[in-house]
Amino acid sequence: MSKRMTIRKPAKITKPAAAQTALQKFKGRLGRKGTAYGRAVGLAAVTSKKSTDAKEKRVDQLFDLLLIITEAPKDILASPWHLLAEVAPVIKAAKVTCKAAAKKKAEAEGIEGDALKRLLKGSTKGLKDYMPDMGNFLELVNVDFESARQTVTLQPGRRKLVWAEASAVWKTELEDHVSAIKMPTAVGVDVEDPRRKFVLGSDYKKTFRKDPENPVLDDDGNERVNVVFGPNGAKRSTECIVSEQPKGALYDEVRETLLELGDLVSNNNDFVRKSETDERADYPEFILPHDGKVDIPEDARARFLGLTLKQYRDAMPKKG
């Protein structure tokens, strides 16, 4: 007679009590600093026109917040999605605190009616403007933790952290991603001045051709398009020869020469920003969602628990 076969229940996939305690302490510190940061942004929205102190305090609070992020439990730091899931709701809550602080300060200064509405509507702009930089910081934490931590730690002999210097370091990973793109993109070389180059983009056929399906060719078989450039009120048009260049190489070239481009600054700035935004979309684990909600993918949850994806799915309660 065979022994009755016993069915082993899936192991409970939770972290040890000590790890849970460490996580809760981190959440508490992060939440409190997030509140302080939101309040500083709100006050700066009301007083920034009168004083630079409020703006500097806002930046100081953000540096403090980023430093706390580097002090997350090691298992959280090792999983970009889990770190994002801890940070995102804190930033969402900071926006609420920001508006409340701005409203209280504005009312105390006698601001009311439509002026108050406009102020509150724009009160979180300072916070939103920094979110892409924070996402870049989260990526650097994942790729080069020590470098990330050094950018938010005051070094001996220095009185203050400098935002422009730090954010430039955080952005290096994103810049490397864009630089590596081999996909071709269209550029227009000015016929009258070949030194002048315009970024036309991958969808230039719709934007620059009169008929998207029928290019205008010169006697040498080169496609030509008219490009309008220059600031509002002083727009000019020039004829360009269309060619292609790898997007990454063009991105590097444009960034290096941006300050020398004169009337082309707007066109090329747009290209740089769009290239970075498009590439960042391929790394959602480093994008802070505006609603503060993060849906951690199954594979990231499995890795966090030291399981294969199959083991993780087997351990999950079956639906129905």
Decide if pLDDT at 120 tops 70. Answer: yes
Which tens digit of pLDDT belongs to each residue from 62-83? 999 999 999 999 999 999 999 9
Q: What is the mean pLDDT of the chain?
A: 87
Q: What's the half-sphere exposure (Cβ side, CA atoms, 13 Å) at 297?
A: 10
Decide if pLDDT at 148 tops 60. Answer: yes
How confident is the model at residue 69, as a pLDDT?
Answer: 97
Q: Which sign, positive or negative, has the C-alpha torsion 22, 290, 154, 42?
A: negative
Decide if pLDDT at 125 tops 70. Answer: yes
Sequence-distant (≥ 6) Cβ neighbours of residue 67 within 8 angstroms: 149, 152, 153
How confident is the model at residue 51, as a pLDDT?
Answer: 64
Which tens digit of pLDDT belongs to each residue from 251-293? 998 888 765 655 555 566 778 888 999 999 999 999 999 999 9
| Rounded Cα distance, 184 and 248, in Å | 9
What are the beta bridge partners of residue 229? Answer: 236
How confident is the model at residue 180, as a pLDDT?
Answer: 96
CA nearest to 290, candidates 178, 130, 76 = 130
Q: What are phi and psi of 188, to 5 degrees?
A: -115, 120
| Rounded Cα distance, 170 and 68, in Å | 16
Identity of residue 166: A
How confident is the model at residue 260, as a pLDDT?
Answer: 61
| Rounded Cα distance, 258 and 275, in Å | 15
Domain-wise residue ranges, the chain: 17-170, 183-269
Which tens digit of pLDDT belongs to each residue from 149-207? 999 998 887 778 889 999 999 999 999 999 999 999 999 998 988 878 888 888 889 88
Decide if pLDDT at 84 tops 60. Answer: yes
Cα three-residue angle 243-173-34, rounded to 5 degrees? 130
The alpha-helical segments, DSSP class H, found in 48-79 are 53-69, 74-77
How confident is the model at residue 7, as a pLDDT?
Answer: 40
| Rounded Cα distance, 294 and 203, in Å | 32
Average pLDDT of the residues in 47-72: 85
Sequence-distant (≥ 6) Cβ neighbours of residue 306 within 8 angstroms: none
